[in-house]
Amino acid sequence: MQPFQRIAITGKPGDQAVIDTIRKLIHELDGRGLTVSLDEAIGDATGASATHPVASLDSLAPRIDLLIVVGGDGTLLHAGKRVAAHQVPVLGINRGRLGFLVDVSPDRFDEIIRVIDGDCRVEERLVLEARVVDDDGIVAHAPAINEVVLQRWNTARMIEFETWIDGEPCNRHRSDGLIICTPTGSTAYALSGGGPIMHPGIDAVALVPISPHTLSNRPLVISAGSHIEVRVQPQSIEQVHVSCDSQTDLSLTADGRLDIVAYPHALRLVHPPGHRYFDILRAKLHWGDGAPPC
């Protein structure tokens, strides 16, 4: 790949470890003569706003070659959705906890520099779009990199809804809700709900029920090109909450209809040399801990 020349940096506001890493990163990039811009969410905290352009990610996205995110997976999810439409590659530096997406250690500046020099792999990750619809069309919509979640709230009772796939009835549910996840999100909330781990190279979506009334209501994996429709029963609409990546909430209309389709733009995730997906799974999920080597 060609070296990256125009780089924007964002991170988790209010985290001193994040700010310290960003300051070191700015110093390193400045020393290489690169153009560095800062997200307005962290610009002032770094002390570099007087010498570097500071703007929102939405306005920076058309003018950059790479976005570096310092923080946890949640920070990357938030930032990635804001630049996906401009196909900006995103590199994550881990200052969070699990770090399935932010896979570069802040201590490995050698890896970061190799990425900036073009020695990296760019992987495209499926993104979903949730749409609240009624008879007049789309009322509200939001992208989701991990998952769209429909779940009960403000009630102890299960909710009732139907799922339709590509216009065909799939199931009628009585449960606490439903997780519709991408392969990226299969190691997040869906994993806790008993869903399958899906390799990010698979073009698929999983529907994972949350505490279903019947044991036969099992996780279902379908093509990522499918049109998923959720129809909430009228008696349950007031007790339903819809969220995308636990960051954006959508309110259903009286029709109680929610559509989930593939977002037209993928998340372009940058990995350093030597990145291997199963290494991440073994490290984060502690696979093989205590087992003798083969």
Per-residue pLDDT of 93-131, as tens digits, reads: 998 776 799 989 888 899 999 999 999 999 999 999 999
Residue 193 identity (one-letter amino acid): G
DSSP 41-75: TTHHHHT-TTTS-EE-HHHHGGG-SEEEEEE-HHH
- Percent of all residues in the chain with a pLDDT value above 90, rounded to a whole number: 86
CA distances from 253 to 214, 250, 280 (A): 28, 10, 40
CA dist 205 and 144 (Å) reads 12
Predicted local distance difference test score (pLDDT) of residue 294: 66
Is the CB of residue 112 less than 8 Å from the CB of residue 4? no
Find the largest Cα–Cα distance for the chain: 62
* Nearest CA among 1, 142, 140, 23 for reference residue 77: 142
Structure tokens at 60: 């920076």
Is the CB of residue 226 less than 8 Å from the CB of residue 165? yes
The sheet with strand 220-223 has its strands ordered as: 220-223, 204-210, 177-181, 147-152, 240-244, 248-250
Task: Give φ, ψ of 144 to 5 degrees.
Answer: -145, 125
DSSP letter, residue 200: T
Question: pTM of whole model > 0.75?
Answer: yes
Read off the pLDDT band of 38 (50, 70, 90). very high
CA dist 115 and 123 (Å) reads 13
Q: Determine whether 134 is an active site residue.
A: no
Predicted local distance difference test score (pLDDT) of residue 289: 83
Beta-carbon neighbour count of residue 17 at 10 Å?
A: 13
Is the CB of residue 8 less than 8 Å from the CB of residue 60? yes
Cα four-point dihedral sign 12, 14, 16, 22: positive
pLDDT tens-digit map of 253-287 = 999 999 999 999 999 999 998 899 999 999 889 99
Is the CB of residue 147 less than 8 Å from the CB of residue 179? yes
Q: CA 161, 166, 167: angle at the middle one, nearest 5?
A: 65
- Percent of all residues in the chain with a pLDDT value above 70, rounded to a whole number: 99
Q: Which residue, chain included where needed, has tokens 């939405």?
A: 58
The one catalytic residue among 15, 39, 73, 176? 73
